[in-house]
Structure 1
Amino acid sequence: MRAFGTDFAVPPGYLNTPSVGIPPAPVAAAVAESVERWRTGAIRPAEFDPWVARARAGFARLLGVGPGDVAMGASASQLVANVAAALPAGTRVLAAGGDFTSVTFPFAANPGVTVTEVPLDVLPSRVEGHDVVAVSVVQSADGRIVDLPALRAAAEAAGAAVLLDASQAAGWLPLDVAWADWVVAAGYKWLLSPRGSAWLAVRPDARERTRAVAANWFAGEDPWATVYGLPLRLAGDARAFDLSPVWLAQVGAAVALEYLGGLDLAQVAAHNVGLADSLLEKLGLPPRGTAIVSLEADPGRSAAAGIVSSVRAGRVRVGFHLYNTADDVERVLRAFE
């Protein structure tokens, strides 16, 4: 099918983007070409450096930050660990109850840190008395969106640092998050990139509060000059927190992020939310203004109706993205008949 100016090979009823996004044809083609070069021995390591740079710049553009403020990694939790491991003993972290554990586990794994969970809807009002707030912009389980303006105001008033996980938001929700100390996102969901791609935006004044827990050759100022020997010599910007790249993932991410960066994300959000709220309305439920819908439903019945979805927190979770249509809404409705 063709949607938003490109082609997708998405089957009807695919509503599982919150788990795995489906790439546009040019993304899959770029990865396939690299696989063929690998298969035939034509590949050279340095040829992936431009892909990494393109993907980094694409993510930076989506967040409204500079490429030098973005670290590249393989997963959200691995990048969050650069923040969590740097926190000194006695740090008090505030989190949303039931948030995805890639956000909370890295902090809980630091024995000197206390993590307190509160309901998402009251989180901004509980910031006082905490040093760091770590929360997903959009909740994985049910699509609820944190009140970002209220959180920003509360954090600034309390002097608290903020880490945002945009894995369920970046790619469909226009984001004004450059104010946050750290913003992380995995690429394989709404960003339509291969798994093994993720990024962490680090505000310049937060670099000294971030630790390179997986310091490696690629995190050097000139990676090809830091492949052997000491002393430690990391890049002077957020690239100091880079992981050695997952090559094929970066190829796909470069193409996907450039494609998404050329879209009007307000239109993407209107499309996605319009379908999600249409489903809720036809089920007699109030609109929620998010691309993710969590339903009390029989997973077996949903699958029998040709719906590809996930079960999260005991409920069937569906998500609407670029390639979904009103026909997908009708397919879900038929599962409730």
Structure 2
Amino acid sequence: MELSVAGELWDAEPGWLNTASYGLPPRPAWDALQAALADWRGGRTSWEGWGEATERSRERFARLVGVPAADVTVGATVSQLLAPVAAALPERARVLAPENEFTSNLFPWLVQGQRGVSVTTVPAEQLAKHIDAEIDLVAFSLVQSADGSVADYTEIVAAARAHEALVVVDATQAVGWLPVDAGLADVLVVGAYKWLMAPRGSAFGYLRPELRERLVPSAANWFAGRDVHSSYYGPPLRLADDARAFDLSPAWFAWVGTDPALAVVEQLGVAAIHDHNVALANRFLAGLGRPPGRSAIVTVDVPGAEEKLARAGVRAAVRAGRVRASFHIYSADADVELALTALAG
């Protein structure tokens, strides 16, 4: 599919610059969800077809981040996917994270404080240089929610490997527009409702096989069974032998919308999406007299920016005291011009 005609797949109203809060569904995802809801309302079908969307989504996500589908678990939120990793940390383990890290990748480690686990935070750009032999786990966002800064993934991984520290990456603000190699990390988690444009309630986690052996799937359920449809009743425990052992039973309608949304991302190609998004973000920065960046998320500190954008019908977010604008497939030059004109007063 050509990116030039991709806009026809969305019904975005002018001025939506807030994908970092939630993405807008492409029409195939919206239509699939409406059809499933209609079937649910009338009791016209069984649930198994809705469940199959989960497996297709797992496979699509695995291709997007370059890992085997057998190493991908599915769930609902980032923090839920990180919970078994945090619980497996040894007592008095030391965790290192950026000081402005989104709390879904901080609270799971902080709640382990009762076991002596400690969390140290440092400026994001200094993360790699603070990794030493005392650090057991490094947790960071590949793209920071607050300001859109992109982490030096390979540098952080290299420093962590040199000191045998685990690497846990929240790629929620990256996958869908930034090419990502999940296999560099030990754990990589993604909430799919932002740049993957899925309904809220679907999330993915890559779990390195060697690490999985140290984790307990405490939320074990029928969907995590070796054979799902023969795992409804009774013992013995018979979980899947791969990352599926950590699956949550899927919220069907979230996954019905996730599958076609990921299909659109695959068809357009992450590299093309990246170039489109960053070009728009840099045009926005240039209009404000600022140098170009390498992110689809930018922040602006213009007096009265929030009010000016709101009056013009531009929907952005405020994070850490600054207006945050984010550009995705359905964003266009007209959205940039609308925002620049508003900020010019």
With the shorter chain as reference, the TM-score category is over 0.9
Q: Which amino acid aligns with 1:19?
A: S
Which of 326, 329, 337 pairs up with 1:322? Answer: 329
Equivalent-residue separation in structure 2 for 1:183 and 1:22 (angstroms): 23
Counterpart residue number, 2:171: 166
Select 1:106's aligned residue among 90, 99, 108: 108
Q: Which amino acid aligns with 2:335?
A: D
Aligned mates of 2:32, 2:107 — CA distance in 1: 34
Q: Residue 292 of structure 1: which of 290, 294, 297 is its match?
A: 297
* CA–CA distance in structure 2, aligned partners of residues 43 and 181 of structure 1: 40
TM-score, length-scaled by structure 1: 0.97
Query: 1:209 is paired with a residue of what secondary structure?
Result: coil
State the SS of the aligned residue for 2:330: coil
The answer for the alignment partner of 1:116 in structure 2 is: 120
Q: Report Cα offsets for 1:283-316 as digits up to 9, x if no partner.
A: 1112221000111243122111110111111111
- Report the equivalent of 2:82: 80
Contact 2:58/2:204 (CA < 8 Å) preserved in 1?
Answer: yes
1:45, distance to aligned residue in structure 2 (A): 2.3
Match of 1:222 in 2: 227
Query: Any runs of at least 4 consecutive aligned residues in structure 1 with deviations exceeding 3 A, and if so which?
Result: none
Further displaced range: 124-133 or 42-51: 42-51
Give ranges in structure 2 of 5+ residues lacking alignment: none
CA RMSD of aligned residues (A): 1.4
Percent of matched pairs sharing the same residue: 47
CA distance in 2, matches of 1:295, 1:221: 50
Residue of structure 2 aligned with 1:187, choices 182, 188, 192? 192
**What is the total number of aligned residue pairs between the two structures?**
337
The amino acid that maps onto 1:268 is I
The one-letter code of the counterpart of 1:121 is E
Question: Residues of 2 paired with 1:259 and 1:320: CA distance?
Answer: 17
- Range 296-305 or range 88-97, more displaced: 296-305
Q: Hey, what does 2:131 align to over in structure 1?
A: 127
Tell me which moved more, 222-231 or 11-20: 222-231
State the shift of 1:6 in Å: 4.8
Q: Return closer, same or farther for 1:109/1:3 CA change in 2, 3 Å cut-off.
A: farther
Asked if the contact 1:185–1:199 (Cα under 8 Å) also holds between the matched residues in 2, the reply is yes
SS in 2 for 1:262: helix
1:155 pairs with one of 157, 160, 166: 160
8 A contact 1:96–1:123 mirrored in 2: yes
Partner Cα distance (1:311, 1:210) in 2: 37
1:210-289 aligned at under 5 Å gives the runs: 210-289=215-294
